Amino acid sequence: MSGLLVPVALRQAPRSKYLALVFIGAQRTLAYPRTVLLSLLSNTVWLAISYHLWSAVFDGTSQVGGLDWARMQTYLLLAQCASLLLNASASVHRMLRLIRTGDIAIELLRPYDVLTSQLAFSAGAALVEGVLGVLVAAGLGLTLLDVLPAASPAAASFFLVSLLLGFLVRFMVSLITSLLCLWTKNWLGLHWMQAALLSVFSGALVPLHLYPGWLRSLSLALPFQGIIHTPISIYLGELQGSALLRALGLQAFWVVALWGLARLLWNPGRQALDIQGG
Amino acid sequence: MGRVALIEAQQLTRSFRIPVKAPGFAGAVRHLLRPQYTERTAVDRLDLRVEAGESVAYVGPNGAGKSTTLKMLTGILSPTSGQVRVRGVDPHRERVANARSIGVVFGQRSHLWWDLPIQESLRLLGDIYEVPRERFTRSLDELVALLELGELLARPARQLSLGQRMRCELAAALLHGPELLYLDEPTLGLDVAVKERVRGFIRHINRERGVTVMLTSHDLGDIEDLCERMVMIDGGRILFDGPLRTMKERFGRTCAIHLALRGQPPDALALARQALPELAASCSTQPEQHQLVVQFDMAQAPVGSVVGRLLAALPVQDLRVQEPSIDSILRDLYENRLQLQEPRR
């Protein structure tokens, strides 16, 4: 019996609890390869559909809303891959599921900060799906589509930073939505509302470039643009110098503000929690 | 074994808001426009004190408030009013500090990650509870030996039977060496052999390791095997709190005498009723077993006198006296709960 124990004991290297959760998030995502493949597949299908849709729009014109066809293709591909990272099922649904099923009780029994632990777990899951997303992007981009390289090496690295911040904004939005369910007890409506806000205002559905002025201004005033629009604009070189720094700063501001809001909601939310029976 | 209070609850109360909706679509619309709620008090001004090393059975019918109490003691739910301290700590406000010193097993929820091998789950729990490496190894070795987990470690939780999973849950709850173990229906759905094993383990950690155990269960075997003290609750109020023995003495007054008769006399029932005029209504026959049963309240007549009169009046071949068990006591109490309950204010 002790022979079996040795590997566990040996691998018990000291590990921070939140880092451990990042690993678990990644490991659990890998435990369901079919789920990951399916979301890859559906993203690819969606990409193919929007590619054909937009190629029809660009048939006969060279520019739509300041985007030419090559930039549009680049936009579509990046948006699809980013949304793979951003919609990593674990990060979007975990807290919601915990609250809905009452399994939040188990989380509350553990000596960690529940919100931070959610973040750690989601980061692990998103990392796995994100890496896959990048692989798909590279594969499709290099073979099928006419994708532009990043505007500059600097743009490429700022793009990654911005993507990371985008992930955090995305996480905070779904965290706050989930926390609101502690009061409403109705998760479906909130979830749909969140999905609608995200697809309209993040640039996932239609690039914000193409919106009429007022809608565009509105989008830029909301946190959602930081999820897809900002990283891709950086990649394409539309944001440079001080504008780029301002955009990153704005993303960071939203991350901090939304995290603060989630924390503000958490304690009263815990009071509002009722798990009856079982 | 010190007389230190581990758990102290005073006037602990928790109520839930229940929406009141008239039936049908019209009712739903009316609720939307003018929502109405009632309060349901799940736990009502509960006073409880548990000392270090005790093993307490917390019992009551479904919906009595057992789980809600446990959720307040473990810091999951906040009390509506009153207060609770566990090792001097407010479990809801100081949730993390409280979480470090307790272990919890829920029969219906799992601490293990469904799709990870058990050893990964245990290791992660070791990380979460920041158990130093040496202590982790020692603790794990011990738990694996006691619960015979050796072969289960490499398998994911989803592949385990309920009994195997429950053994792993116990290990998961105790890995960090808590002083206090809460068990919510730990043997629910287990077969007899596994139940016995789980009970043996819980007894061991209570008696040998001095871990304080508080257990809710509908399983009377659990209660009789594991606990010296019983707290009974219904309607959110404590109905009884004291040693299991006292419980039996105070409420266990129903005695059943089973008689097997020689020659199956057809008038046996009449004879018995004649011999026991004051218990006439308590006598019955079980024809398929040729048995006569007298079930009575021991306050009404002493057992010795009843047995003597029955032996004199009937051709008794065999006689069995069934003393009250916790089982029958609880059944009686659950069924006639209103008689015991103090009037509600």
**A13 close to B (CB below 8 A):** yes
Of B68, B96, B120, the CB nearest to A276: B68
Q: pLDDT for A40-82, tens place per residue? A: 788 888 888 888 888 888 888 888 877 888 899 899 888 888 8
Average pLDDT for residues A155-178, to the nearest whole number?
92
CA-nearest of A88, A81, A92 to A129 is: A88
Average pLDDT for residues A147-155, to the nearest whole number?
88
The pLDDT of residue B318 is 87
Position with higher pLDDT, A34 vs B131: B131
Q: Decide: helix, strand or coil at residue B329.
A: helix
Chain A: give the shortest CA distance to residue B311, in Å: 50
Please report, rounded to a whole number, the percentage of residues in chain B having pLDDT higher than 90: 43
- Dist. CA B153–CA A23, nearest whole Å: 19
The pLDDT of residue B174 is 94
- Which pair of structure tokens corresponds to residue B43? 């736990």
Q: Pairing mode, if any, of strands B237-243 and B291-297? A: unpaired
Q: In chain B, count of helices (H) and strands (E)?
A: 13, 13
- If you average pLDDT over every residue of chain A, what do you get? 85
Q: Do A9 and B137 touch (CB under 8 A)?
A: yes
Flag whether pLDDT at A27 surpasses 60. yes
Most confident of A133-137, B29-33, B138-142: B138-142
Flag whether pLDDT at B308 surpasses 80. yes
Task: Count the Cβ atoms, other than its own, within 10 Å of residue B260.
Answer: 14
Flag whether pLDDT at B331 surpasses 90. no
Q: Decide: helix, strand or coil at residue B231.
A: strand
What is the sign, positive or negative, of the torsion defined by CA atoms of B222, B223, B228, B230? positive
| Chain B residues closer than 8 Å to A14 by CB | 133
The pLDDT of residue A277 is 52
**A153 close to B (CB below 8 A):** no
Q: Do B153 and A8 touch (CB under 8 A)?
A: yes
**pTM of the predicted model as reported, rounded to 2 decimal places:** 0.81
Average pLDDT for residues A144-169, to the nearest whole number?
89
Of B109, B120, B130, the CB nearest to A17: B130
Chain B: give the shortest CA distance to residue A16, in Å: 6
- Dist. CA B7–CA B13, nearest whole Å: 15
At B33, the pLDDT band (50, 70, 90 cuts) reads: confident
Distances (CA, A) of A136 to A84, A91, A129, A237: 10, 20, 10, 22
At A3, the pLDDT band (50, 70, 90 cuts) reads: very low
Position with higher pLDDT, B341 vs A41: A41
H helix intervals, chain B: 24-33, 66-73, 95-101, 118-128, 133-147, 162-174, 192-207, 220-226, 244-251, 268-275, 303-313, 326-335, 337-340
Chain A: give the shortest CA distance to residue B111, in Å: 7
**A276 close to B (CB below 8 A):** yes
At A6, the pLDDT band (50, 70, 90 cuts) reads: very low
- Which amino acid is located at A14 in the chain? P
Q: Which residues pair with B296 in a beta bridge?
A: B255
- Dist. CA B255–CA A202, nearest whole Å: 74
Q: pLDDT for B172-200, tens place per residue? A: 999 999 999 999 988 888 888 888 888 99
Q: Do B116 and A27 touch (CB under 8 A)?
A: yes
At A275, the pLDDT band (50, 70, 90 cuts) reads: confident
| Chain B residues closer than 8 Å to A1 by CB | 144-145, 150
Flag whether pLDDT at B342 surpasses 70. no
- Dist. CA A130–CA A132, nearest whole Å: 5
Region at B177 (left for phi over 0; alpha for psi -120 to 50; beta for the rest): left
Q: pLDDT for A87-141, tens place per residue? A: 665 566 788 888 888 889 999 999 999 999 999 988 888 888 878 777 877 787 7
The pLDDT of residue B269 is 81
Flag whether pLDDT at A7 surpasses 80. no
Chain B: give the shortest CA distance to residue A87, in Å: 21
Give the DSSP H or E segment for B285: strand B283-286
The pLDDT of residue A10 is 45
Q: Do B140 and A9 touch (CB under 8 A)?
A: yes
A·B CB contacts under 8 A: 110
Q: pLDDT for A174-223, tens place per residue? A: 899 999 988 887 778 888 888 899 889 998 888 998 899 999 999 999 99
The pLDDT of residue A67 is 85
- Count of residues in chain A: 278
Q: Pairing mode, if any, of strands B237-243 and B254-261? A: unpaired
Q: Pairing mode, if any, of strands B254-261 and B316-322? A: antiparallel
Chain A: give the shortest CA distance to residue B275, in Å: 50
Q: Do A108 and B76 touch (CB under 8 A)?
A: yes
Of B16, B76, B141, the CB nearest to A5: B141
| Chain A residues closer than 8 Å to B126 by CB | 12
Q: Do A275 and B108 touch (CB under 8 A)?
A: no
The pLDDT of residue A181 is 87
Q: Do A271 and B68 touch (CB under 8 A)?
A: no
